[in-house]
Every structure is written in structure tokens, then in C-alpha cells.
Amino acid sequence: MRYSRIFAKTTKSAPADADSKNAELLTKGGFINKQMAGVYNYLPLGLRVLTKIQNIIREEMNALGANEVLMPTLTQEENYAISGQDAIDILFHLTGHGGSKLVINQSHENVITPLVKTYAFSYRDLPLAVYQIQNKFRNEPRAKSGLLRGREFNMKDLYSFHATETDFKKYYETVQTAYFKVYERLGLGDRVVLTYASGGVFSRYSHEFQALCEIGEDTVYLCSKCRVAVNKEIIDEHNFCPTCQNPNLTPVKAIEVGNIFDLKTRFTDAFKFKYADESGALQPILMGCYGIGVSRLMGTLVEIFNDDKGIIWPRSVAPYALHLVAVGSDEAVLREAEQLYQQLLGSKIEVLYDDRSNASAGEKFADADLLGLPLRVVISKRTLEKGVAEFKERSASEAELIPLQNVRHEIDQRCR
Amino acid sequence: MRYSRIFAKTTKSAPADADSKNAELLTKGGFINKQMAGVYNYLPLGLRVLTKIQNIIREEMNALGANEVLMPTLTQEENYAISGQDAIDILFHLTGHGGSKLVINQSHENVITPLVKTYAFSYRDLPLAVYQIQNKFRNEPRAKSGLLRGREFNMKDLYSFHATETDFKKYYETVQTAYFKVYERLGLGDRVVLTYASGGVFSRYSHEFQALCEIGEDTVYLCSKCRVAVNKEIIDEHNFCPTCQNPNLTPVKAIEVGNIFDLKTRFTDAFKFKYADESGALQPILMGCYGIGVSRLMGTLVEIFNDDKGIIWPRSVAPYALHLVAVGSDEAVLREAEQLYQQLLGSKIEVLYDDRSNASAGEKFADADLLGLPLRVVISKRTLEKGVAEFKERSASEAELIPLQNVRHEIDQRCR
């Protein structure tokens, strides 16, 4: 993509109300634009990042054998009344023609449970798992911190249905493994810890996936031996590591980037969803739900991977793999850069080409640092005179000079 | 995909309130499930169709050089007040914490105009075009006809901004060409006619893309010579073909599957969005908007491509290219079918494998017809005895017997 053709460019200053690093850098970089507190527009570069995170999650959910669906945003308020959730504080209510009472979904338990009930009747139909990647809405009084706490935000939500506790527990653990694969692929592998949290009325515990990060609004109590933590809600009653019983827990700041719940029969009972066992007798169905905040993960990555110059995207979610910069207006430079750009397009390398004629070298370098693509390749009159291009990994401090005849090969090695 | 692993199977009867062919067949086929009037869940097979339609549209919008973004669903009501659209009858209103007045977007002119204004200032920034693929919400009193008239529905909306009328007109025509490419790729090439419609207060005409279809709720007046029509709104004042002046116009039923508008300065003036010309003087910006109803197109395809047994998907949007059916429980049959399934997965052929052990041959054939994939391949004890597999194109009346050693080659020829 030619940078000149992307309408949303970088801006020199962040908005005065940017209250977090992710809001500041994503806004300055032209990734997102605030519509109102907790509600953002995804601009061309930002939508590419969001889509890449979604696709990584989708692949891992498909690998679990889960079916992807897309549930609606609008739902009858009565569905929430059935489960007793119609008075949830953060639920947005609205009124349809004829006075019908509607909500916009803050989560989808009250939609998926009756939906699955339409198709699953027998022990042969279980277990089954269904997920979607959808926007959620919360009438959040304290929307803040850019993409971290929103009123409209993107989530992956997975729901599973089981005949037995053993089967549920096995699946619940499989999902934990899949979640860690997701975080690993996003570059957060060594940051995310499994955190024990309150299970609510029905279960002893739920589990959160907490990304350790100084600006996080959560405090978790991390075991000095395991990669396991206990959250604030339950630390008073559970002040030792649930895995190794170590009483040495350290409070650390973190951002919640996933959570999984044992819902038992909370929703299946409410919606009278049972299965027929082999003898034809009706039996209760156990249910789990598993969330990952997709847009929140995008914000979290920026909070964790940045320096004073800008974002440092993990390769797996960078909007483009390579930032090609042509410096100056020298014809030979533009010819060489254009030729390389065309070759890279032809070989399906994801390249952002800063072809602007009205930006200085300094502006282009500053923008490349701000945008944070993994590799910057510069072609200038000076590099051409030496027969080289300048390579700089965003995460490295030093640039390298690569002979022109090796440029394609080096890019192939680094950007695939 | 193994059909046994898709939770949403076919159902024998359509819901009593299915008021259209698309609602009936898509529901029976397990593509969609009605949440409430005008609001649907997209089930695994249905989401695949929707996504394929979206991707075809996305490719054609990208080919236009338009930037893809994702705007929010929630927006401040005051944005609509700025353009004078806050009293639109079908706009859903809601209230946020602290009494803030919000809407859920029925279209995005009131979001995109101030958004683009943030980044475009000068004649150098124009023209520019931005699109998204997003859900829209309309408080529709008469939601009906399955995916044809919804309260929550998926759309592609493109917006373009121009410095001159000449530039706008050129782009407006380019979009028309892109739209016809989309319809062509969806198998609707010879069905869709450009239809002149009222332009509202600001322009003489807008244009609709109408798919000719007997159950359509629109009536358009089709020229007997050109593939051009005039819609009902303007036929009284414009009772001849706008292209060839032919007065011989025939009323026909049609479904509106796209529309494009010359908005002139309707929204750019409201949001005080101007550009600086070469002398630095501020000038008005001309704007166009261009919609395609994505979910409505999915419903339209079913209305047009079906027979008494079920849907006949165009290859480009079929959820899978191939429906592999194993008949009976004979071990040699299951081995042969399983081996073929694995080979097809390996060569990236999109295959739905009906591996159910609890469904009869008759049920599997009926389901294959209902689901409407382009090619059905049957392996049974009888075909194996003859050393063949049975091929049947969904659109053909006769099956063919293909020698086993040619099956892979034949599938490669037909399903890529």
C-alpha cells in the first residue's frame, strides 16, 4: 500500500484527552479515531491490526473444533429476563416500533443458549462448542484508557455445552491451552498468567488471563514459583498459590485479556435446555463460556510494546511487515524504490511504501518509528551511491546496510 | 468440514412465520436462525456465505482504491442533529450513563464526514474514498421477507469526497462499473439493471441497482431496449428511458441490491468540511455515497436461485464447493469417502463431507439438494462395485458416473 493513498495519516500531537499510551500512540499513528468516550473508529492501519488479531484467534478456535457463527447485536429484553439478567447495570436498553423492549448485547449467553437448544436434543449432539467474533456494548460509566475499557468493543466469545462434568473439565483445560497459544502468537507468551478469580454464585473459581503490565488497572497476586496468580477479589480468602500452595504471592499490575467461566447449569436451566440420554431421560446440560477481548488486546499490545518513538508491533499483527521509505525526490531513488515496491507486491510481501513527495526524510523516519512496522527499508541518494539499502528492525537500535543485490533475499528471509 | 460436526443441521419444516422463500430455505438449511422480526443469527454455513459475499465486494472496493475502515455502531445523537437527521423515523435512540443521548447508526454519513475532516484539508488530499462493511440498524415497523428487509442487517457503505463536479461524476461512473462487477461475480450479471430514482432535494437522480425477481417488493419500469429502468417514485414525471428516450417501459418486480447517491454538499456543508485550494481559499467538498446490502444480497440469491428441492448457490458464494456424501455404513465405502475427504482437504478444495451414521441415503440426498452446493459426489456400495463415484451438479437434472481414478481430476476441474 502506498502511504500517500491512506487517507488517515499520522498527526503531530495526540488529543488532549488521550489518557493512556495506547490511546495516544494509536491516535497519533492514525490507527484509531475516537468517536466518543469508549467508542472508536478503526482507520485503515488499525483495522488491519484488529483483523490480524481476529484471524489468529479464529484459527485457534477452529483448531478446537468450535463452529463459528455470528449472533445479532439487537435482542429482545425478555431473553435477559429469562436468565434474570435484564437489570444488569451496563446493559443498554432501547425501544422498538410498537413499544417492543430491546437491548444491545453486552454478552451472548442469553442468545446462544436458546439458539443451540433449537438444534441439540440428544447425548449424540454433545459436546458442542460455538463461537463468534462480534462487537459488545456496555453502558460503561467509566470508559477510559483507549481500547482498554470501552463502551463498544470487539470480542471473541466461545460457548461450550456438555453432558458430563468430566467432559466439561477436559474442554475447559483444552481452551486454556488454546488461549495460551493465542497469546504466544501475539508475542505475549511470557507476559500472560493464568489467574484464579471468583466463580460467582455457581462455581468456586473462574479464570482470568492477565497480561502483566505496569499500567494495568487490575492487581493480581503472582506466585514466585509458578506462572499462576490470584486476583484481588479472592486474595483475602485464598492467599497462597492454587497450584503449588506457595504463600509467597507478589502484587503486580496487569490487564485482563481473557476470562473463562464454568457456568454450570446457570443458563441451560433458565432456558430449559436439556438433552435426552441413551434411555431417553432428560438431563441437565453443563455450559462454559470463554472470552477474549480483541480490541482490548490491540490496546494491550501497544501498552507493552512501545518506546519513546512509537509502537513496536509484534510481526504477527503488524499492519504491514515492511515499511519502505524513499528519501528525497531524486529520480534514481524513486525508480529503485518503485521497482522494489512492485517486486514485493508481486511476491505477496505486505509492504507499506512511504511514497509521499511532500514529507521530509525526518518526517518519514519519525512516522516509521511511530507506526512501528517490524522492518524499515530506506532507499536514498546516499544509499544508492554506496550500492546499498538501509535496513532497520524497529526493535533494534542500529541500522544495517544491505547490498542492493541482496535486498530481495533479505526481505524474503525477514518478512515471511 | 464434516457435517456431523456442524451443530446447526437442516430442519424438516420451516417456521410457520417464514414469509418468503429465502427465510424458508435458509432456515430449513441451517444457514440462519431468526432472533426476532428482522434480526437473524448467522449459523456456520450461513456465515460462510455472508463472508464470501463480503469478500467479493471488498475486493472490488479495494480495486477502486478505496480505504477500508470500521466505524462504530454507537454514535452521539448530536452528530445526527448537525445534519438535521436526528428525527429520522427509523433511527434507534438510547441513553447512556449520565443521560447522554446516543443512537445506533442506520447509515454512517454523520460519522464519516467529521472523521474524514480530521485528516483531509487540502486539494492534495482529494479525491478520497472510504468504505466499511458493517451492520446497520433500522427501527423498521415492517421487517419482513427474511434477509430482504431487516432491522439489523449487513451493508457495505462507501463514501467519496471530491473537489470538482467533473471528478465526482467520473468516480460515480467508476463505482457503477465496480457494482456491476460485484453482481456479475455473484451470478446476478444478467439480472441487475441500473434504475433511475429520485435524487431527493439536492440532486436530480440517484441510482438503484435492481435485481429483477418476481417476489421483489419494488416495481421498476424497464426499457425494452436498454438494461436501464426508472423507479416508481419518478415514473410519472419521467416515463421514458433516460438512456435511449424509448417510451416503451414495462413494469417488472425487483429487489433493490444497491444504491448510489450524489450527496453534493449536503453533509460536508453541515459539518463545515471544506478544502483549501492552491491559493489557500476554502472551497466546498462534493460527496457521494454508495451502498450494497450484503445480507439482503444473500437473501436475493436464494430468491432467484432455487428449485422445489432447495437452494442452488452460485459457485462464488457457496459455503463449500463440493458436497461429499457417503451412503450406508459399508466399511469400504467409508474408507473410500474418508480417503477422498482427506485428499481434498490436503489440496484445499472446500468440501462438506456428510459423514453422518444416523442419516439415511434419502435424508442425505434431500439435505444436499436443500443446502445447494454446486457439486454433489456420492460414494456408495453400488458405485464402488462399478468402480465409480456419482457426480451431480446441483443445477443439472442428471447425474454422471465418474471412474474412481478420474475423481480427483474431475473435482479439480470443477471446484477450483
Q: In this predicted structure, what is the pLDDT of residue A203?
A: 75
Q: Which helix (H) or strand (E) holds A382?
A: helix A381-385
For B345, phi then psi, to 5°, come to -55, -45
- Average pLDDT, integer, range A281-297: 98
**CATH ID of B320-415, from 3.20.20.370, 3.20.20.140, 3.40.50.800, 3.40.50.150:** 3.40.50.800
Could you tell me if B384 lies within 8 Å of chain A, comparing CB atoms?
no
Q: In this predicted structure, what is the pLDDT of residue B202?
A: 66
User: What burial class does residue A387 get, using C-beta atoms within 10 Å of its C-beta: 0-12 exposed, 13-18 middle, 19+ buried?
Assistant: exposed
- Average pLDDT, integer, range A266-280: 98
- For residue range B85-112, what is the model confidence (pLDDT) as tens digits? 999 999 999 999 999 999 999 999 999 9
Min Cα separation A154/chain B (Å): 11
**Which amino acid makes up residue B338?**
E
Min Cα separation A30/chain B (Å): 9
Biggest CA–CA distance in chain B, Å, is 83
Whether the predicted pLDDT of B52 surpasses 90? yes
Whether the predicted pLDDT of A293 surpasses 80? yes
Q: What three-state secondary structure class fits A115?
A: helix
For B33, the closest of A68, A115, A120 (CB atoms) is: A115
For A373, phi then psi, to 5°, come to -70, 150
Q: In this predicted structure, what is the pLDDT of residue A202?
A: 66
For B44, the closest of A8, A67, A76 (CB atoms) is: A67
Q: What are the residues whose beta carbons fall under 8 Å from the beta carbon of A147, sequence distance 6 or more?
A: A22, A23, A26, A32, A40, A153, A295, A296, A298, A299
Whether the predicted pLDDT of B41 surpasses 70? yes
User: B3-307 is classed in which CATH architecture?
Assistant: 2-Layer Sandwich (3.30)
- For residue range A124-154, what is the model confidence (pLDDT) as tens digits? 999 999 999 999 999 999 898 999 999 999 9
- For residue range A208-224, what is the model confidence (pLDDT) as tens digits? 999 999 999 999 999 99
Residue B252 forms beta bridges with which residues? B220
For chain B positions 207-246, those within 8 Å of chain A (CB to CB) are none
Q: What three-state secondary structure class fits A59?
A: helix
For chain A positions 26-45, those within 8 Å of chain B (CB to CB) are 30, 33, 35-36, 39-44
Which cell numbers in the block locate residue A100?
417492543
Q: In this predicted structure, what is the pLDDT of residue B17?
A: 86
Is the Cβ pair B137, A74 closer than 8 Å? yes
The residue among B59, B56, B52, B47 whose CA lies nearest residue A62 is B47
At residue A78 the predicted structure's pLDDT band, cuts being 50, 70 and 90, is very high
SS3 content of chain B, % helix, strand, coil (to 5): 35, 30, 35
Could you tell me if B6 lies within 8 Å of chain A, comparing CB atoms?
yes
Q: Is the ipTM of this complex over 0.90?
A: yes
Q: In this predicted structure, what is the pLDDT of residue B199?
A: 85
Is the Cβ pair B43, A69 closer than 8 Å? yes
Could you tell me if A345 lies within 8 Å of chain B, comparing CB atoms?
no
- For residue range B332-375, what is the model confidence (pLDDT) as tens digits? 999 999 999 999 999 999 999 999 999 999 999 999 999 999 99
Collect all residues of chain A within an 8 Å Cβ-Cβ radius of residue B44: 67-69
- Rounded alpha-carbon distances, angstroms, from residue A185 to A59, A182, A189, A226, A317: 11, 5, 7, 21, 9
Q: In this predicted structure, what is the pLDDT of residue A201?
A: 66
Is the Cβ pair B7, A119 closer than 8 Å? yes
Q: What residue of B is the nearest CA neighbor of A34?
A: B115
Whether the predicted pLDDT of A408 surpasses 80? yes
- Domain extents in chain A: 3-307, 320-415
CA A114 from chain centre, in angstroms, equals 28
Q: In this predicted structure, what is the pLDDT of residue B200?
A: 74
Cβ atoms within 10 Å of B383's Cβ, excluding its own? 19
Question: How are strands ordered across the β-sheet holding A322-326?
Answer: A351-354, A322-326, A375-379, A388-393, A400-403
- Average pLDDT, integer, range B151-162: 98
Whether the predicted pLDDT of B15 surpasses 90? no
For B119, the closest of A7, A74, A94 (CB atoms) is: A7
Interface test with A, best of B34, B36, B80, B122 (most A CBs within 10 A): B36
Is the Cβ pair A152, B73 closer than 8 Å? yes
For B39, the closest of A5, A74, A118 (CB atoms) is: A74
Whether the predicted pLDDT of B201 surpasses 70? no
Q: In this predicted structure, what is the pLDDT of residue B205?
A: 87
Q: In this predicted structure, what is the pLDDT of residue B24?
A: 97
Is the Cβ pair B36, A73 closer than 8 Å? no
Is the Cβ pair B98, A141 closer than 8 Å? yes
Collect all residues of chain A within an 8 Å Cβ-Cβ radius of residue B72: 35, 39-41, 152
Collect all residues of chain B within an 8 Å Cβ-Cβ radius of residue A104: 73, 94, 104
Query: What mean pLDDT value characterizes chain B?
Result: 96
- Rounded alpha-carbon distances, angstroms, from residue B14 to A125, B8, B40: 21, 14, 15
Is the Cβ pair B35, A6 closer than 8 Å? no
Share of chain A above pLDDT 70, in %: 100
Could you tell me if A367 lies within 8 Å of chain B, comparing CB atoms?
no
Contact A42, B69 (CB under 8 A): yes
Please tell me which of A15-24, A288-297, B234-243 the model is most confident about, judged by mean pLDDT.
A288-297
CA B39 from chain centre, in angstroms, equals 16
Q: ∠ at Cα A39 (A34, A45), nearest 5°?
A: 55
Is the Cβ pair A67, B5 closer than 8 Å? yes
Q: In this predicted structure, what is the pLDDT of residue B14?
A: 84
- Rounded alpha-carbon distances, angstroms, from residue A8 to A22, A187, B69, B117: 17, 27, 10, 10
Collect all residues of chain A within an 8 Å Cβ-Cβ radius of residue B115: 33, 41
Min Cα separation B225/chain A (Å): 41
Q: Which residue has the higher pLDDT, A16 or A325?
A: A325
Is the Cβ pair B72, A152 closer than 8 Å? yes
Q: In this predicted structure, what is the pLDDT of residue B204?
A: 80
- pTM of the entire structure? 0.97
Is the Cβ pair B75, A358 closer than 8 Å? no
Whether the predicted pLDDT of A302 surpasses 80? yes
